[in-house]
Amino acid sequence: MRVLLTGGAGFIGSHTALCLLEAGHEIVALDNLSNSSPEALKRVEELTGKKATLVVGDCTVEADVENAFAAFGPFDAVVHFAGFKAVGESVSMPLEYYRNNLDATLVLCKVMEKHGCRSLVFSSSATVYGTNPVMPLREDYPTGCTNPYGWTKWINERILTDYCFASKDMSVVLLRYFNPIGAHESGRIGEDPSGVPNNLMPYICQVASGKLEKLRVFGDDYDTPDGTGVRDFIHVCDLAYGHLKALEYAVSHKGCEVVNLGTGEGYSVLQLLHAFEKVNNMTIPYVVTPRRPGDIATCYADPTKAHTLLGWQASHTLEDMCRDAWNWQKHNPNGYQGDEIK
């Protein structure tokens, strides 16, 4: 397959690029580098010994997407990662989020149609389950969101479902990711958040490296076994492999499917923290603070459909995730900007 990865220089995109190249496919990334570095794909090339073409362009700009298709197509399929993803920022900048995350999809679909590319895999999120209290979360459960970022995913799912219904030759897989963490085992590509991280694992890694003083555990009074939030953490390489399986499915079927990508296991914030300490042989200072507004107690997937429909299941353990996240952070204390410590 020859696959276009929008947002392919980002965290999940670069790991998926590597996974697809290793499986013998060709990839082209279209990314405006608003939240990523070209260095990620350079390293993917070094790791695989294969070409990972980067086209710098904006998915909301039709001429940029058209250029990618005209100059580097034809593509058998597209994985659409490109989008803004910071929940807090989306609350203060809703218009930017709706514009970027929705325009990108609309423009992409138009150009795909023009070029006869009929298979699409879309990055959705478990955030579309909103405050649904019934666990594990299954794809047919009611949805609803609590912030603009979540609504952009929800509306994108709606748009793509309706588009697929209207275009019978179209194939879409909507992947609802749970909490991707970790990094490639080489330690050469990983998550490179700008500024102070919002998410748990990058924050722990920066405490471990001494850049941040201590972790704030947001609440220990939830209705969970140890009182801290429970999440379905999934290794980014398992997630990347899920895209390969979703692409194989998309190019050989028609219609729209929504699929959870999670492990099906929930671990608490403190369980993750202690697993990190144990596997990396260090102590992470932390303090319990009040709950973070908008957080829910528990969120984990029912991954049955991914297994039955795509033949996919996660294989990495929580310990693998903690080891690989730290291995990346240790060798790249300043992400892709700074020197790599061999």
Q: Which of 18, 52, 104, 217 binds ligand UD1 (CB under 6 A)?
A: 217
280 binds ligand UD1 (CB under 6 A): no
Binding mask 154-193 for ligand UD1 (x = CB under 6 A): -------------------------x--------------
241 catalytically annotated = no
Residue 223: which residues within 8 A CB-CB, separation 6 or more?
Answer: 297, 298
13 binds ligand UD1 (CB under 6 A): no
Q: Which of 85, 184, 231, 316 binds ligand NAD (CB under 6 A)?
A: 85
Nearer to ligand NAD by Cβ, of 12 and 137: the residue is 12
- Among ligand UD1, ligand NAD, none, the one that 33 touches (CB under a kind-dependent 5 to 8 A) is ligand NAD
Residue with the two structure tokens 């350079």 = 42
11-22 and 236-252 helices, crossing angle to 10°: 60
Binding mask 224-263 for ligand UD1 (x = CB under 6 A): -----x-x--------------------------------
For residue 24, with 0-12 CB atoms within 10 Å meaning exposed, 13-18 middle and 19 or more buried, which class applies?
Answer: exposed
Nearer to ligand NAD by Cβ, of 121 and 217: the residue is 121
Q: How far apart are CA 26 and CA 53, in angstroms?
A: 9
Instruction: Name residues contacting ligand NAD, limited to 279-338 (CB under 6 A).
Output: none
11 binds ligand NAD (CB under 6 A): yes
Selecting among 97, 98, 141, 149, the annotated active-site residue is 149
81 binds ligand NAD (CB under 6 A): yes
Binding mask 160-199 for ligand NAD (x = CB under 6 A): -----------------x--x-------------------
Instruction: Name residues contacting ligand UD1, limited to 66-95 (CB under 6 A).
Output: 87
Dump the DSSP string for 247-288.
Answer: HHHHHH--EEEEEEES-S--EEHHHHHHHHHHHHT----EEE
Least Å from the CB of residue 172 to ligand UD1: 20
The sign of the torsion formed by the CA atoms of 281, 287, 293, 298 equals positive
Rounded-to-5 percentages of helix, strand, coil across the chain: 40, 20, 40
Q: Give the Å distances, CA to CA, from 213 to 121, 138, 191, 277, 312.
A: 39, 38, 20, 15, 39
Q: How far apart are CA 43 and CA 28, in angstroms?
A: 15
Q: Roughly how many angstroms between the first and final C-alpha of the chain, as a whole number?
A: 34
The sign of the torsion formed by the CA atoms of 23, 24, 25, 30 equals positive
143 binds ligand UD1 (CB under 6 A): no
Q: How far apart are CA 286 and CA 209, in angstroms?
A: 14
Quick one: CA torsion of 24, 29, 35, 39, rounded to 10 degrees? 60
Least Å from the CB of residue 297 to ligand NAD: 19
59 binds ligand NAD (CB under 6 A): yes
Q: With contact defined as beta carbons under 8 Å apart, do 170 and 164 qualify?
A: yes
Least Å from the CB of residue 233 to ligand UD1: 8
* Site of interaction with ligand NAD (CB under 6 A): 6-7, 9-13, 31-36, 58-60, 81-83, 85, 100, 104, 123, 125, 177, 180
Q: Would you name the residues annotated as active-site residues?
A: 149
* Site of interaction with ligand UD1 (CB under 6 A): 87, 125-127, 150, 179, 198-200, 203, 215-218, 229, 231, 269, 292, 294-295
